[in-house]
Structure 1
Amino acid sequence: MKVFFKTYGCQMNVSDTEIMSGILQQNGYELVSSLEGADVVILNTCVVRQKSQDKYHSTLGQLLKLKRQGKLKLIGIAGCGSNLEGQRLIESGADFVIGSRSVSEIANVLKRAIDGEKVVYLEDTICSVGSSTPRLRTSGHHAWVTIIHGCNRFCTYCVVPYTRGREKSRPMDDVLSEIARLVEMGVKEITFLGQNVDAYGKDLKNNISLAKLIEKASQFQNIERIWFLTSYPTDITDELIEVVANNPKAAKSFHIPVQSGSDRILRLMNRRYARDYYLSLVERIRSRVEGVSISSDIIVGFPTETEEDHLQTVDLVKRVKFERLNLAIYSPREGTVASKYFKDDVSRSEKIKRLNELLELQKEINKELNSKYLGASVEVIVEGITKDGLYYGRDIRNKIIVFRGSQISLGETVQVKISKITAGPLYGELQKKRGL
């Protein structure tokens, strides 16, 4: 039986899809890369914003048409949408629903659905996922490695603690065992994942931490780069900053969502820091980590956000000068404190206006920061090829570099001289491959 996954949302979902694919393949299913010819389609869903939820509901509707036409046998829903909607997705036409912390049971759930049962499986079996769990990796040189599940922060706008559950760290020895397997496969880059990755180890004994895990992982000779995301500001320790500063394999990049530059809005969001704390954290990181790249997330139009609140956010963006900024318009999420107690009172037109102001500001910042790259030579690990036949990859600061070349393998490390800048990718000329 052929199975196709369509994955929405964050890298955690990508990692979960790799796990479910690996388990199904081990159990005799054929994983296919397109909808055409599939017998089973599983949507690994995201509900962080209403737009994300609307997308998979729209896809579900399209799949139901194919099923009625006899072109599809079963439709499954995985991920955060399963935890949020559960039985309602069965009522909407799905054949089975499996929760975000239930991925280890995908083969059993699918078998029950094949046997004609309508299944909603939301049990927490996440502790059974470990280094020996099969995974069907999407890259030969880079791997997502989930080290902590769930979130304990309960920001008022966020549904993740309700869909992903409480924080649970994986034992360090098990994570290192997974890395050892990855090295044998030829992987040279790893990204440690968690909804709040910096909280790793807080629930473990022996003073385990993300910083110590990075140090241990860097001891694998063939691992060249170690990334981590996503960070919560108050969980970033001096120990972590020192490791990133001094370990040559640690990517010089922090993704630290700020969400707003207004203390009043931060309090309403239940973000447990103030604007000044965030600014001092950025300064602390930049004073220790040479050339560090700092990126962030901002929510535009949170309930009661005034023009003054917005201008404080604009001011923070100007002060920090993020290398990259992910912007999202606020949308109420079912089950959150904000959806229950706060009126979504900022008009759509005002949200769009504020979003566009921040987008334009960030474009100017990107141009300014990228201009410093002109003429520089950077080391790039090759990730892919564009439709125009150009290679692209990232440097250790998470800058996307596009360049011309030939006979280059994905995952290969090359030296590129930057010859053109934009507000987005940088463009360069291949200087040499490693070892040449």
Structure 2
Amino acid sequence: MIKNKVSLITLGCSKNLVDSEMLMRQFTENGYIVENDPARINSEIVIINTCGFIGDAKEESINMILEVAELKKQHKVKNLYVMGCLSQRYLKELQIEIPEVDQFYGKFNWNELLRDMGKVYHKELATDRILTTPGHYAYLKIAEGCNRMCAYCSIPIITGRYQSRSIESIEEEVRKLVSQGVKEFQVIAQDLTYYGYDLYKHFALPELVERISDIPGVKWIRLHYGYPSQFPYDLLRVMRERDNVCNYMDIALQHISDRMLKQMRRHITKAETYELIERIRQEVPGIHLRTTLMVGHPGETEEDFAELIEFTQKVRFERMGAFAYSEEEGTYSAKHYEDNIPAEIKQERLDRLMRIQEKIASEINEAKIDQTYQVIIDRKEDNYYIGRTQFDSPEVDPEVLIPADLPLEIGEFYKVKIKEAQAFDLYGRVLF
């Protein structure tokens, strides 16, 4: 156990990661050494930034808290603090069940941790961060909360109403990150589509993206977690006109059956969903769409699932993930519907859906053979450099593997010709 050293363990989504990076910067300003490796804890202070979104994530967070609590019992850790979504939602229960934790903080009051330790929270560093990603890319959180109130989702319960950051504060953060060497920005929020409405009385995402793209040094902007209803179509013009705005959109659709969309309270119909996708692809040729689909929501029939299969086969998403419904207490679905689909049927549907998507992904990747793409290099592993095209977000999308027979610079862009393709990876050669 090393004194004046903090281990900050981040669980869950990239939005949590941004909070952790901001807190780490505050600790360094207060004279602490910080690290973020959960596999190697040798600090006197451990902070766990938790996720409380779905059952598996909650279980992972609780297990990590219990693991560190055991280290504290063994006097290998002096202080244990917990913050984030799980403690925001279950504060009282956690205080009773895990008394080894010195203090719990929620999603929005983690800056009080410093004050409770007798340290200073530096407001002038509110947008400063210590990046835990490779230095050439960063996540850029533009809002908190969500106003959509989908039937199955606990996020609004945890984070509350939508709160946009001002365009000016986001620009300031981007300029700081560019000065540190960041070239690529993953723009994130629970719902990008709604951005700006609470501040400016109109959906301001297109304006925000334009202004970020104007900042010298911003090479790639990639957009995550759009919502299909009330989609700001002017964003497509921005994508089309700006070379540094990636032709990529992550937009969770969840289902296609009108009956299920209504039960899920998604505020969109099957016909409108098809029209949205068609318009996006017409206005931004070559765009890669990532979506997330759900199986096993209460009431999903075989007919509903068949529609989802047909939708997946027709639309042929370039990127797709899926998950089985998990009942979350306090949500509309938990209050009004019985979780009546057996776990084995949920799993069978999920497996079938992903088998279809794997075939689609393989075919899409195979079509890239002999094509040339701009690739940014993330890292080197064994005999390969690992990179991504503009169509690939870190950690969730395919990567490009390039033989390490010639030296390449991490964080630099290269033209790469694709030579081989698999379902979730591409293999290529740099063109000098």
Q: Which TM-score band (shorter chain)?
A: over 0.9
Q: What does residue 19 of structure 1 align with?
A: 22
Q: What does residue 82 of structure 1 align with?
A: 87
Aligned length, in residue pairs: 417
For 2:127, the aligned partner's letter is T
Q: How many angstroms does 1:391 deviate by?
A: 1.3
State the distance in 2 between where 1:131 and 1:180 align.
14
**Alignment root-mean-square deviation, CA:** 1.9
Q: What does residue 62 of structure 1 align with?
A: 67
- Give the alignment of 1:313-392 within 5 angstroms: 313-386=308-381, 388-392=382-386
Q: Give the SS at the match of 1:384.
A: strand
Q: Which moved more, 1:420-429 or 1:41-50?
A: 41-50
- The answer to whether 1:30 aligns with 2:33 is yes
Q: How many angstroms does 1:221 deviate by?
A: 2.3
- Give the alignment of 1:126-275 within 5 angstroms: 132-138=126-132, 139-205=134-200, 209-275=204-270
For 2:32, the aligned partner's letter is Y
Q: What does residue 115 of structure 1 align with?
A: none
- 8 Å CA contact 1:131, 1:175 repeated in 2: no
Cα–Cα, structure 1 residues 74 and 404, in superposed 2: closer, same or farther, change >3 Å? Answer: same
State the distance in 1 between where 2:117 and 2:364 align.
49
Q: Taking structure 2 as the reference length, what is the TM-score of the superposition?
A: 0.92
State the distance in 1 between where 2:123 and 2:389 align.
31
Q: Which runs of 5+ in 2 are unaligned?
A: 393-397
State the distance in 1 between where 2:15 and 2:105 align.
15
For 1:90, the aligned partner's letter is Q
- The answer to whether 1:48 aligns with 2:53 is yes
Q: What does residue 101 of structure 1 align with?
A: 108
Cα–Cα, structure 1 residues 294 and 170, in superposed 2: closer, same or farther, change >3 Å? Answer: same
Q: Which runs of 5+ in 1 are unaligned?
A: 113-124
Q: How many angstroms does 1:131 deviate by?
A: 7.1
Q: Encode CA deviations 1:280-332: one digit per residue, 9 max, x unaligned.
A: 10100000112100011111111111111111111111111111111111111
- Give the alignment of 1:404-423 within 5 angstroms: 404-405=403-404, 406-423=406-423
Q: Encode CA deviations 1:189-235: one digit per residue, 9 max, x unaligned.
A: 11221100121111123857111111111112211101121100023
For 2:26, the aligned partner's letter is I
Cα–Cα, structure 1 residues 99 and 334, in superposed 2: closer, same or farther, change >3 Å? Answer: same
- 8 Å CA contact 1:5, 1:42 repeated in 2: yes
- 8 Å CA contact 1:96, 1:109 repeated in 2: no
Cα–Cα, structure 1 residues 137 and 325, in superposed 2: closer, same or farther, change >3 Å? Answer: same
For 1:411, the aligned partner's letter is G
State the distance in 1 between where 2:258 and 2:11 align.
32
Cα–Cα, structure 1 residues 143 and 131, in superposed 2: closer, same or farther, change >3 Å? Answer: farther
For 1:257, the aligned partner's letter is A
Q: What does residue 390 of structure 2 align with?
A: 396
Q: How many angstroms does 1:59 deviate by?
A: 1.6
State the distance in 2 between where 1:368 and 1:167 align.
39
State the distance in 2 between where 1:352 and 1:130 align.
49
State the distance in 2 between where 1:277 and 1:111 align.
54
Q: Encode CA deviations 1:134-178: one digit per residue, 9 max, x unaligned.
A: 311123111211111110111111110111111111111111111
State the distance in 2 between where 1:49 and 1:33 align.
23
- 8 Å CA contact 2:143, 2:195 repeated in 1: yes
For 1:327, the aligned partner's letter is A
- The answer to whether 1:426 aligns with 2:417 is no
For 1:30, the aligned partner's letter is I
- 8 Å CA contact 1:261, 1:315 repeated in 2: no
State the distance in 2 between where 1:155 and 1:110 align.
38
State the distance in 2 between where 1:242 and 1:101 align.
35
- The answer to whether 1:299 aligns with 2:294 is yes
State the distance in 2 between where 1:415 and 1:242 align.
26
Q: Give the SS at the match of 2:290.
A: strand
Q: What does residue 120 of structure 1 align with?
A: none
